[in-house]
Amino acid sequence: MISFEQVSKKYHEKNALVNTNFHLQRGDMAFLTGHSGAGKSTLLKLIMLMERPTSGKVIVDRQDLGQLNRTQIPAHRRKIGLVFQNHQLLMDYSVFNNVALPLKISGYNERDSGRRVRAALDKVGLLDKEKLSPQVLSSGEQQRIGIARAIVNKPKLILADEPTGNLDPALSADIMRLFQQFNQVGVTVLIASHDLELIKRLPHAVIQLDQGRISGPPSVMRQ
Amino acid sequence: MAFFKNRPPRNASRSQPESASTRLFREHKEVAISSWYRLWQTPFANLLTWLTLAIALALPAALLLLLSQAQHLGQQVNQSSHISVFLASSIGIEQGQVITAQLGSRPDVAKATYISAEQALVNFRASSGLEDILASLTDNPLPATILIEPENTALGPKAVAILAQQLRQLDQIDQVLVDMEWLDRLQALLDTSERFTYSLALLLALGVLLVVGNTVRLQIESRKQEILVIKLVGGTDAYLRRPFLYAGFWAGLFAAVIAWIILQLGVSYLHQPLLLLAQSYQSDWQLHGLSWLGSVLLVLASCGLSVLGASLTVGRQLRLIEPR
């Protein structure tokens, strides 16, 4: 699903990623760990085409991202469900409209969109909050709204950037269980997290980044 | 787009698949409606913008309106211009009447009226108030006159000039007077006003573009977060542009309506004094408000300029907002 081949990224002569290689098979779930500044965000940004690599090749869903031009970026991003640490919800939208945003962009009509939004909210257990503003929800609930928005499009790939960063351990475990559920129905999941305690308890591959290089054991990159 | 190929088949019995044009129409309708509602979230700020645009539109529109109708007046005056033909002093009354009849039968003359020297003196005495001086004269210094009203022709002043030239060649005629200079001056004045109005219209159109552009820039700035999220979940440039173009369209529409009201108020305010002015020149000319066609043109120009102003800004501004 995701392939990095000799990928490097430099910001003003500072190396963010150095000759990175890894593969994530379709249907896999993996964690991306490392200290802050180790290159986790950069790696996710390269997958989202928020950044371009300085050298090397990034392949997502059999598509070499280097071949996509500016106008093809939106279609690429629509294939990926993205979850943020600060959830990036729009506070002047209702919960329903926040979740419906990716569908609206893809041109769904109201009936299809409503059905899918409610299915996604049901999955994260917040079906009864659809009319509220995200502002009145707790941070755990806000994060689940962000997840509902990421899955409403039924993407084949979910990327999450520190999704449990602001949450207590119980809530974090809940969120991880959600990701595991999506993974069980065949969605590829890549989660950047420095919550090592939580990661250790979960049976998923770990990609460890250290100063822009992958330093984890080779078993991590299982095929 | 790969995304749509991945979309699972829908329940065909419940919803018919949409054609691309139906979908585009629906999307535009949705954006038009949502941008309409957004207008009323900041009504005061929007009203100020619309008033600014309306004034920028009303000014050149009023001048164009006045100009087009003044040109009409100019043609009217042109066509009703008289030629005064002064007969030689040797011509008697009977002979003068014969010449008048001859001139009246020409195809390019609508009407020829004979005024004898005596009649001219009586008229002059009555209008000038110089009775005492005139009474002391032994001879009548005034010649007999024929007043000629030229036939209305499409040629206008040119035809009048040719007629006057031909009349000058006649032996019995001493002098021919046409008030061409006044007409020339009016025409020159109208030409100058026309160019002035067009230059002003051009500058104010540029003003409309800048005002709308700046308004859209501020709107984009205030919706930065929303734009970032839409970009991250895969919104296209066209999708992001659309609400701002519609905002421009609505601004243009409201500005046109306000400009139209300003124009009609202005016309009704000027109507009375202009009527008196025209009457003092023996004209039945009146200032009319915008016609249907004029109103439609005003709306088209306003909406067109506003959408253009928005689209010139929106692409550049949206490119400045990229998720990092």
Closest of B164, B172, B24, B157 to residue B106, by C-alpha: B164
Closest of A150, A157, A153, A154 to residue A63, by C-alpha: A157
Domain contains B291: yes
Are B316 and B191 in the same domain? yes
pLDDT for position A152: 93
Q: How far is A59 from chain B (nearest CA, A)?
A: 15
Q: What is the mean pLDDT of residues B156-182?
A: 78
Report pLDDT digits (tens) over B288-309: 888 899 999 999 999 999 999 9
Q: How far is CA B163 from the centre of its chain?
A: 33
- Two tokens, residue B38: 């957004």
The CATH homologous superfamily for domain A1-79+155-223 is P-loop containing nucleotide triphosphate hydrolases (3.40.50.300)
Q: In whole angstroms, what is the distance from residue A17 CA to residue A29 CA? A: 22
Q: What is the mean pLDDT of residues A7-25?
A: 86
Say yes or no: B324 contacts chain A, CB-CB below 8 A.
Answer: yes
Q: In whole angstroms, what is the distance from residue B222 CA to residue B196 CA? A: 39
Q: Searching chain B, which residue's CA lies closest to the CA of residue A82? A: B233
Say yes or no: B12 contacts chain A, CB-CB below 8 A.
Answer: no
Q: Do B234 and A78 touch (CB under 8 A)?
A: yes
Residue where a domain stops, chosen among B151, B177, B203: B177
Q: What is the mean pLDDT of residues A91-115?
A: 90
Are B197 and B293 in the same domain? yes
Closest of A157, A160, A130 to residue A145, by C-alpha: A130
> Rounded to the nearest 10 degrees, how much is the dihedral formed by the CA atoms of B147, B151, B154, B156?
-10
Element of type H or E holding B206: helix B180-222
Q: Do A101 and B229 touch (CB under 8 A)?
A: yes
CB pairs under 8 A between A and B: 69
pLDDT for position B137: 77
Those residues whose C-beta lies under 8 Å from the C-beta of residue A137, and which sit 6 or more positions away, are A95, A126, A129, A145
- Two tokens, residue B265: 């108020």
Pick the residue of B31, B233, B239, B318 with the most A CBs within 10 A to test the interface with A by mutation.
B233
Residue where a domain stops, chosen among B107, B142, B177: B177
Q: Which domain range does residue B110 map to?
A: 82-177
Residue where a domain stops, chosen among B121, B151, B177: B177
Say yes or no: B29 contacts chain A, CB-CB below 8 A.
Answer: no
pLDDT for position A145: 93
Q: In whole angstroms, what is the distance from residue B76 CA to residue B201 CA? A: 27
Q: Searching chain A, which residue's CA lies closest to the CA of residue B26? A: A109
Location of each CATH 3.40.50.300 domain in chain A:
1-79+155-223
**What one-character-per-residue DSSP string does B242-283 give?**
HHHHHHHHHHHHHHHHHHHHHHHHHHHHHHHHHHHHHHHTT-
Q: In whole angstroms, what is the distance from residue A49 CA to residue A159 CA? A: 13
ipTM score for this prediction: 0.89
Give the number of domains in chain B: 2
Domain contains B163: yes
pLDDT at A87 over 70: yes
Phi, psi dihedrals of residue A54, rounded to the nearest 5°: -70, -40
Helices vs. strands in chain B: H and E counts, helices first? 11, 4
C-beta neighbour count of B73 within 10 angstroms: 17
Q: Do A74 and B234 touch (CB under 8 A)?
A: yes
Q: What is the mean pLDDT of residues B272-288?
A: 79
Are B171 and B191 in the same domain? no
* Chain B residues lying within 8 Å of A77, measured CB to CB: 231-234
- Two tokens, residue A168: 């207590």
- Two tokens, residue B239: 């999708």
Domain contains B4: no
